[in-house]
Amino acid sequence: MRSAFLYNEKFSGLEAYKGYPWLFERSEVTYQLAKRLGLLDHEWISIFTPEPATLEALMAFHTEEYLAVLKEANNGHFKEEWLHYGIGTTECPVYPGVYDYHALAVGSTLLGADLVERGEADIVFGPTGGFHHAGKDFAAGFCYLNDIVLAIKKWLQRKKRILFVDIDAHHPDQVQQAFYRHSRVMCISFHEGGHTLFPFKTGFQDEIGQGHGRGYTINVPLAENTSDEEFQWAFENVFVPVAEKFQPDMVLAAIGVDTLFSDPLSHLQLTNRSISRAVRMILRVAPGLVALGCGGYVLENLARTWTLAWAVMNDLGPKEEDAALFGGMFWGDSLASLQDQPHFVPDSLRQKARRHLEEVVGTVHKSVFPILQIDV
């Protein structure tokens, strides 16, 4: 096994405005914690320093006009006409370095895609990535450039079959849109439903692709207050059989941590136990994996959960899912476990979430599984 951690200190040090939810320190805190715990000090692990994506690379998805506007916004001076492109809103403000930061994020993800495609790494993790709301010519939801779409497009040029799985709290609307008619890209998303969370208008279970892509888009919208047990049940009953049937050449995973109960921007009740278990299941079906950080709006959650995910990717994590502590010399006496303690959710809320998910998963089984020739 060969693993690659993508890190560039230039990801940090930016500021949009006081209180902006996007945490630029995400790569830094994950890298520093993983380093402190010895999770980067193994012969099969390499650290790569990404460089910004070129304009030519960005134009594989984004329009030249939009890129020119975003590049001009890099100086931090707002122009009202940019609102037409979603640039200058509260979600996607203008700030010094906005183009540089997002071009670097795309460069990081494209580097990861190259490393896996060339066989130089089996597993790649880039904490700064997963900008799944950026459209061809607009910014939305903290996302200005869509690194996921660009990476998948690169793999498609190499005639690969790609499985994209997204466990962020928000639906990856623009990734779905980009590949809605493709049969060589399987898009699976587990997210809080659009009735209660951005982007609101997409991500419902009846969205299953069109044309040649019919059956190759799968959405599992989660109800408010969904907890670990319900999420894990849905993941096992949808992701696992679909991934095994699809048999991808490459897997790209968006590992958002805004599904956690302590995150302020969603209404779910998960712990990072669910995330680590999902990562284990993804690893079992991934010939090559690029994992990206995606959303998450509590710095401690980002650092702990993505460091835990990195440990799991490298078979350095807990051997038992129910273990409360890693413990011993691995962590040191002063450090608590990265793995969350179980989080209590009242039975009444869990039962409601379970009924909702049983209906959603049942719909997926009836509408998609026959197309893919999967036995229920």
Residue pair 162/41 in contact by the 8 Å Cβ criterion:
no
* Residue 168 confidence (pLDDT): 98
Burial of 300 (C-beta count, 10 Å sphere; 0-12/13-18/19+): exposed
What pLDDT sits at residue 45? 98
Per-residue pLDDT tens digits for 275-306: 999 999 999 999 999 999 999 999 999 999 99
pLDDT for 81-109, tens place per residue?
999 999 999 999 999 999 999 999 999 99
Which among 62, 102, 133, 356 is annotated as catalytic?
A: 133
Q: How confident is the model over 28-77, as pLDDT tens digits?
A: 999 999 999 999 999 999 999 999 999 999 999 999 999 999 999 999 99
pLDDT at 311: 95
d(CA 56, CA 189): 29
Give the architecture (CATH level 2) of 3-372: 3-Layer(aba) Sandwich (3.40)
User: Cα–Cα distances in Å, from 265 out to 21, 258, 297?
Assistant: 9, 7, 7
Q: Where are the chain's structural domains?
A: 3-372
Among 252, 47, 73, smallest CA distance to 147 is for: 252
User: What per-residue confidence (pLDDT) applies to 287?
Assistant: 97
| 133 catalytically annotated | yes
Query: Over the stretch 59-72, which tens digit does the pLDDT of each residue have?
Result: 999 999 999 999 99
Q: What residues of the chain score a pLDDT lower than 50?
A: 320-336
Res 328: pLDDT: 36
